[in-house]
Structure 1
Amino acid sequence: MLKQLLFKTDKKCLYKFVYNLGIKGTLSFNRFQKRLNRGEFFPAFHFISVTDDCNLNCQGCWVTGKKKNSRLSMEQLDQIITETKAQGSYFFGILGGEPLLYKPLFEVFEKHRDCYFQLFTNGTLLDAATADRLRKCANVSPLISFEGDEQVADIRRGGKQVYRKTQQAIDVATQAGLVTGVAMSVCKSNLELALSPDFIHSLIQKGVSYLWYYIYRPVGENATAELSLSLDEIQQLRQHMVDARSKYKLMIIDAYWDEKGKGLCPAASGLSHHINASGYIEPCPVIQFATDRVGNQPLADIYRDSAFLKDLKTAIPAKTSGCIIMEDPQWLVDFTEKYGALDTSGRGNEAERLRAMAPVCSHGAGEPIPETSWIYRFAKKRAFFGLGAYG
C-alpha cells in the first residue's frame, strides 16, 4: 500500500495528502479533544453538501424528492471553510447531490489550498479533464461511489451504464495520480460484491488507495428499507473489514466502530456535523432536522449556543451506540419536536415518514469485534483519518 502511494501518486498530491490531511488533520483532532476537555465544542471536521443537484436518482439518497433544489453560494461555502479553519480544522467532506455539478467547486479548492477535501462523487462526471484539474489542485481525494455490478448499479443508482462509468472514473483518477478512494453503501443487493476478494483485488490493480465501507441507511423519498442489512449481515461485514485490514494492500475505512469494535455515531460524538445545501446545520446528512443555519451568526457561536446539537450528543448515546434513525426513528421525531427543529429535507414530510418507518438493525446492535491490526487500533484511537466520519 505504501509503495503504491509513494510511486503511483502525483508527488504534489501525495504531499498534500500527508501534510494537509495526515499531519494537520491529526492536529485538528487533538484540538477538538482539548476543546471537549474544556467543556467547549466545535466539530473536528464538517461535511458539506454544496448542491442538491444530481444526475442520478439513487435508492436511499437524502436529497431525492425535494420540492426545490438548493445550492450554497460561494460566499456561504467560503465562510464555512474560513470559520472552521479559524478553529484549527482543515478537513472537509464535499457532498451533494453530485458536487461536480457545483460550478464554483474548483475555485473553492484552489482558494483554500491549505485544506484537504474529500470529494464524494458518483463518478459519472469524472472524466480525464476533471481528474487533471483535481491533480493540479492536489488537495482533493475523489471518493467514488461503487454500488454494485452491471445489473445492480443501475437499479441502485437510478441511471444507465453506471457500472461502466464508475469503472472509467476510477481509471482516470488513478491514472492522474490522485489519492483515489472507492465507497460502497453496503446493502442486501451488493453485500456479496462488497465481500468479494476479486472485487477488492480489482481495485488494488487499478491503483485505488482506500476502500470505504458504510452501511445502507433507508432515507429520502425512495428509502427502500428492504435493502437494509440484517444483524447477521452487519456482523459478517464487520468481521470482513477486520480481516481485510491485514489481508489486502489498500486502506479499509469505516465510520461506525472504535478500536474495540464498539459502535459509534460520529454526530453523537461530535466528531462531525453536516451542513446542507440550504445552509442548515444538521447532526448528519440522514438526520434532516435543524435549529441553526449558516450566516445567522458565526459558526463558533452556533455550536456554543445550540441546545439541539448539545443535547443530542448526550441523548443519542443514552439510547444506542448505533444509528438512531434506523433503530428508533419515532424517538428521533419526538426529540426534534421538543426543540422545535425544522424539517430540512426539502420534502416537508420527514417527521411523517420517520413515524411510519419500521426500525431496522444498525451497527450498534451486534457483538463487538475488536480490531486485530495494531496500526488500525492506533489509527482509530489517535490518527485523524482512521476515525472515518459518515458515509
Structure 2
Amino acid sequence: MSFARFQKRQKKGEFFPAFNFISVTDDCNLNCQGCWVMGKEKNSRLKPEQVDRIIDDTKKMGSYFFGILGGEPLLYKPLPQIFKKHSDCYFQLFTNGTLITPEVAETLRQCANVTPLISFEGDEQVADVRRGGKDVFQSANTGIDNCVKAGLITGVAISVCKSNLEMAMSPQFIQALIDKGVAYLWYYIYRPVGHQPNYELALSSDEIRQLRQHMVDARMKYSIAIIDTYWDADGKGMCPAAEGLSHHINASGYVEPCPIIQFATDHVDEKSLDRLYAESGFLGDFRTQIQQKTKGCVVMEDPRWLAEFVQKHNAKNTSGRKGELERLQLATEANSHGSCEVIPEKSRIYRFAKKRAFFGLGAYG
C-alpha cells in the first residue's frame, strides 16, 4: 500500500510523499468564496503527457492513489483517457458536481477506478453565495444522484464555515446523504485564501472544537464514513504537507507544499519526481520547520512567517496572481485546527483505517 511504502521510506531516511495531488486545470464554471484558483491573470492546464509522467513517476515509487483537482477537473477533456490509461491506479476526483450528467457518470463508471468527491457547500440559499453560481445546490444534488445511480463510490465534501456550520452538523443533512446512497462524507475547514478570502467566514476556535467533537461522535452514530483531514488517528492536529503525506502539483506544473501555499522552487519538467522530492530544499525545509512551529495551518495562523519563509527560499509566486507575497504579509490571522484541544477518536475502526489504510482520503492539505 502507498502509505506502508511511505513509512518504509521514512525509516530509511528517504522521502517521497504517500500521495500526489494534481490540479489538471485552472478552468472552472464557478467562482467560490475563498478559492485559491480564481483571479489568475491567465489560466493554465497541464499537458496530458505531463500528467502521464507525474503518474508514472509516482507509480515507480509504489504509490497508486491520486487526488485530481482543478479548477473544475471535469473541464479537462483528456481526463477519462488518463483514468483508463492508468487502470492500475485509483483516483479521487474533486468536483463541484454541476457537470456530472448521466453520461459523464457512466464514463466514470466505465473507467472503474474513480471516486467522485462532490463539494456540497450549503443549502439553496447559502450554496449560490458560497459558490458564485446559480442553482448550485440543485445541480450538485443532481450530480450526486447521477453518480450513485451509475454505481460509483460517491463522496460528498463540505468546507465548513460560519454560513454552513449548522447545516454541516445537522442530522437532517447527514441522513439525506445516507438516503441518497453517498458512501462517505468528508469535512474540512474553510481556509480564507485567494483573491476573495472572506475572513468573516472562518470558524472560531470554539466552532472548530464543536466540529471536531461532532465528527468523532458522528463516526459512531451514522452508517456513512465520516472523514476529516486535519487530525491524526489519535485526534491530534496535523498538517498533511508538513507530515510529508501529500504535496500538490498545480496546473502550471509547479510542486507546492499544498494547494493553498502557492509558492514553489520546483517544476515537474525539470527532473523526475523522485529526484525533485529528494533534492528540494524548499519542500524539505517546509516539512521540518512547520513540524517545529505548529500542528495547524500556518497560512491561517501565521501568514507573515510563511511570507518570510518563501522569501528566504526565493520561491516563485505560483498563484497566477500578482501580489501574492504582499497578500500573505497583510493577511488576517485566523483560527485553525492547531489550537483545538485533543479529542480522541472513539471509533477503533476509524483509528486503524486512518493509521494504516486510507490515509489518502485524509491527506489533502
TM-score, with normalisation over the residues of structure 1?
0.92
How well do the aligned residues superpose, as a CA RMSD in angstroms?
Answer: 0.8
Report the equivalent of 2:73. 99
Which amino acid is the alignment partner of residue 117 of structure 2? L
3-state SS of paired residue (1:41): coil
The answer to whether 1:252 aligns with 2:226 is yes
3-state SS of paired residue (1:364): helix
Deviations 1:51-93 (A, max 9, x none): 0000000001110100000000001000000000000000000
Alignment partners' CA distance in 2, 1:133 and 1:249: 28
8 Å Cα contact 2:72-2:96 kept in structure 1 = yes
The answer to whether 1:227 aligns with 2:201 is yes
Which amino acid is the alignment partner of residue 289 of structure 1? F
Report the equivalent of 2:317. 343
Alignment partners' CA distance in 1, 2:347 and 2:273: 38
The answer to whether 1:370 aligns with 2:344 is yes
Task: Give the CA deviation at 1:350.
Answer: 1.0
Report the equivalent of 2:103. 129
Deviations 1:177-216 (A, max 9, x none): 0000000000000001100100000000000000000000
Q: How does 1:291-302 map to 2 (within 5 A)?
A: 291-302=265-276
Alignment partners' CA distance in 1, 2:363 and 2:163: 24
Report the equivalent of 2:257. 283
Which amino acid is the alignment partner of residue 269 of structure 2? G
3-state SS of paired residue (2:290): helix
Structure 1 residues 386 and 284: CA distance shift in structure 2, 3 A: closer
Report the equivalent of 1:15. none
Task: Give the CA deviation at 1:366.
Answer: 1.2
Deviations 1:76-115 (A, max 9, x none): 0000000000000000000000000001000100100000
For residue 43 of structure 1, the aligned residue among 17, 26, 42 is: 17
Give unpaired runs (5+ residues) of structure 2: none
Alignment partners' CA distance in 2, 1:283 and 1:341: 12
Alignment partners' CA distance in 2, 1:380 and 1:175: 28
Report the equivalent of 1:322. 296
Which amino acid is the alignment partner of residue 15 of structure 2? F
Which amino acid is the alignment partner of residue 196 of structure 2? N
Q: How does 1:138-217 map to 2 (within 5 A)?
A: 138-217=112-191
Task: Give the CA deviation at 1:387.
Answer: 5.9
8 Å Cα contact 2:66-2:90 kept in structure 1 = yes
Report the equivalent of 1:13. none
The answer to whether 1:77 aligns with 2:51 is yes
Report the equivalent of 1:23. none
For residue 41 of structure 2, the aligned residue among 44, 67, 70 is: 67
Which amino acid is the alignment partner of residue 353 of structure 2? A
Task: Give the CA deviation at 1:348.
Answer: 2.0
Which amino acid is the alignment partner of residue 271 of structure 1? L
Alignment partners' CA distance in 2, 1:314 and 1:35: 16
8 Å Cα contact 2:19-2:360 kept in structure 1 = no
Report the equivalent of 1:32. 6
Task: Give the CA deviation at 1:382.
Answer: 1.5
The answer to whether 1:240 aligns with 2:214 is yes
Q: How does 1:48-59 map to 2 (within 5 A)?
A: 48-59=22-33
The answer to whether 1:390 aligns with 2:364 is yes
Alignment partners' CA distance in 2, 1:205 and 1:283: 37
Task: Give the CA deviation at 1:258.
Answer: 1.1
Task: Give the CA deviation at 1:328.
Answer: 0.1
TM-score, with normalisation over the residues of structure 2?
0.99
Alignment partners' CA distance in 1, 2:19 and 2:137: 31
The answer to whether 1:307 aligns with 2:281 is yes
Report the equivalent of 1:9. none
Alignment partners' CA distance in 2, 1:344 and 1:264: 24
Deviations 1:295-330 (A, max 9, x none): 111111111110111111110111110000000000
Task: Give the CA deviation at 1:386.
Answer: 7.0
Task: Give the CA deviation at 1:383.
Answer: 1.5
The answer to whether 1:119 aligns with 2:76 is no
3-state SS of paired residue (2:186): strand
Give 4+ residue runs of structure 1 displaced > 2 Å after superposition.
Answer: 384-387
Task: Give the CA deviation at 1:28.
Answer: 1.4
Report the equivalent of 1:90. 64
Count of aligned pairs between the two proteins: 365
Structure 1 residues 296 and 142: CA distance shift in structure 2, 3 A: same
